[in-house]
């Protein structure tokens, strides 16, 4: 069974204090790993897709990296507007779960001014 575990559950940072969010996964043949951002009462917003170990993607203050067992979302010099829940999801490439997204529980990020 595909599994995604995110840590920490919640993270409080001061503005400008860089940190990383972790996403550990177990999946039968990874097709892709996805990062989404979700604001309260809104739908998830797509951030990145990573396909293979060693791949990196960047967008503004965010950088996502991927290994064979986990992904990190690095946040450099965060601002209060980066406060949100960050969801990690994996897409399996084989078996009965082909194409289905499995989400982690999310990390609630709060950035204080």
State the residues that interact with other proteins by CB under 8 A.
31-32, 34, 36, 41-46, 49, 87, 89, 91, 98-101, 103-106, 108
CB of 80 to other proteins, least distance (A): 21
CB of 88 to other proteins, least distance (A): 9
Nearer to other proteins, 32 or 76 (CB): 32
3-state secondary structure 52-96: CCCCEEEECCEEEEECCCEEEEEECCCCHHHCEEEEEEEEECCHH
Nearer to other proteins, 15 or 39 (CB): 39
Tokens 């599994």 -> residue: 3
CB of 8 to other proteins, least distance (A): 14
Report the C-alpha gap between 51 and 71 in whole angstroms: 11
Nearer to other proteins, 35 or 75 (CB): 35
Nearer to other proteins, 25 or 34 (CB): 34
Write the DSSP string, 27-51.
-SSEEEEEEEEE-TTS--EEEEEE-
């Amino acid at each position: 069974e595909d599994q995604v575990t995110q840590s920490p559950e919640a993270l409080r940072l001061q503005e400008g204090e860089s940190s990383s969010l972790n996403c550990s996964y177990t999946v039968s043949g990874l097709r892709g790993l996805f990062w989404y951002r979700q604001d309260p009462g809104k739908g998830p917003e797509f951030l990145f897709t990573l396909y293979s170990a060693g791949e990196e993607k960047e967008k503004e203050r965010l950088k996502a990296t991927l290994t064979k067992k986990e992904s990190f979302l690095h946040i450099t010099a965060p601002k209060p507007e980066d406060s949100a829940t960050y969801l990690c999801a994996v897409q399996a490439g084989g078996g009965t779960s082909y194409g289905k997204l499995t989400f982690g529980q999310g990390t609630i990020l709060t950035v204080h001014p």
